Amino acid sequence: MTYNCNHFFKSISYSMNAQILLLLGLLLVSLSACGPAPETFLNNPVIAHRGAWKTEGLPQNSIASLQRAIDIGCAGSEFDVWMTADGVLVLNHDADYEGLVIESATFEEVSQLRLSNGERLPTAEEYLRKGMTQNRTKLIFEVKPSKVSTDRGIELADKCVELVKSLGAEKWVDYITFDHDIGLQIIELDPDANVAYLNGDKSPQELKEAGYFGLDYNIRVMKENPNWFEEARELGLNINVWTVNNREDMEWLLEQGVDYITTDEPEMLLELIQK
Ligand code: MG
């Protein structure tokens, strides 16, 4: 009888332990399912300039070129953003597409245009939403200076930051711009944002004082100011160099310890860093 009782209580005890383990397991599974996605942005220097378009003949600044930058494993995909006359943010490199000036056109007019693969010129919202379906490739958001007025440039900066915040895309986005007023506006609106300056006419010290995250300069500028690599590093600024399309320059920049290289040849740079 004693043996049977002990056996009975042991069985209960084993059964309870199993249930507790099962509950703990379920709790862990549910926590991992509900928690934030792990930070898995790629740690390589490759930024695809206007997406990765060249080898596949895709249009620049398209969803397709973003998808390819993601697929081949670029750390970032760069894109250019303008604002239509009626306030919609759309991607295009130049001020116009096929003669239609984006800043003077309505979104309705812009949406009639087609890229070579049949896509419409993506809106910044569409591009960000697509980019946010993954978390390996960052979205390098170039805010284009307005050709209409400085005030319109500031309005554009406001809209860009508002869009990024409304989508919760902050984690994916680094901003870049040639326009110092736009850069300062973004820094003020989102002090945690990574903002880099493109225009090449400010020293690392000046950029640091203005609150920039980094410099993103033409390779010619960096060749003329080779001391800026060390200066920027000492100040803790991120260093990105554009637009670098040959192996020799890529190798030189990697030797200088740059963080990012913006290139039309992301496959070439990916191959180079894998050697
Ligand atoms: Mg650009």
Distance of CA 80 from the midpoint of ligand 1 (Å):
5
Instruction: Specify the pLDDT at position 275.
Output: 81
Distance from Cα 78 to the centre of ligand 1, integer Å? 6
Asked whether residue 88 falls in the same domain as residue 200, the answer is: yes
Give per-residue pLDDT as tens, 194-241. Answer: 999 999 999 999 999 999 999 999 999 999 999 999 999 999 999 999
pLDDT tens-digit series, residues 84-143 = 999 999 999 999 999 999 999 999 999 999 999 999 999 999 999 999 999 999 999 999
Q: Are residues 25 and 107 in the same domain?
A: no
Expressed in angstroms and rounded, the spacing between residue 79 Cα and the centre of ligand 1 is 6
Query: Is there a single domain that holds both residue 29 and residue 73?
Result: no
pLDDT of residue 3: 47
Q: Do 67 and 25 belong together in one domain?
A: no
- 3 and 102 fall within a common domain: no
- The one-letter code for the residue type at 130 is K
For the cut 50, the answer to whether the pLDDT of residue 245 exceeds it is: yes
Mean pLDDT in residue range 152-175: 98
Q: How far is the CA of 6 from the centre of ligand 1 (A)?
A: 76
Q: Read off the pLDDT of each residue in 48-52 and give the average, rounded to a whole number.
A: 98
Cα of 155 vs centre of ligand 1, distance in Å, is 19
146 and 16 belong to one structural domain: no
**Could you list the residue range(s) of the whole structural domain that residue 16 is in?**
1-34
What is the CATH number for 164?
Answer: 3.20.20.190
> 3-class secondary structure for 147-172?
CCCHHHHHHHHHHHHHHHHHHCCCCC
| Cα separation, 248 vs 127, whole angstroms | 32
The predicted structure's pLDDT at residue 29: 56
pLDDT of residue 170: 98
Percentage above 90 pLDDT, the chain: 85
The pLDDT assigned to 5 comes to: 47
E strand intervals along 6-102 = 46-48, 76-83, 89-91, 96-97, 100-101
Distance between Cα 50 and ligand 1 center (Å): 6
What is the residue-averaged pLDDT of the chain? 92
88 and 3 within one domain: no
Report CA(49)–ligand 1 centroid distance (Å): 7
**For the chain, what is the domain count?**
2
Query: Do 53 and 6 share a structural domain?
Result: no
Question: Do 27 and 139 belong together in one domain?
Answer: no
Q: 4 and 56: one domain?
A: no
Same domain membership, residue 221 and residue 194: yes
Q: What is the pTM of this model?
A: 0.87
Q: Answer whether 273's CB lies under 8 Å from 254's CB.
A: yes
Amino acid 34: pLDDT: 52
pLDDT of 2 reads 45
Same domain, 30 and 163: no
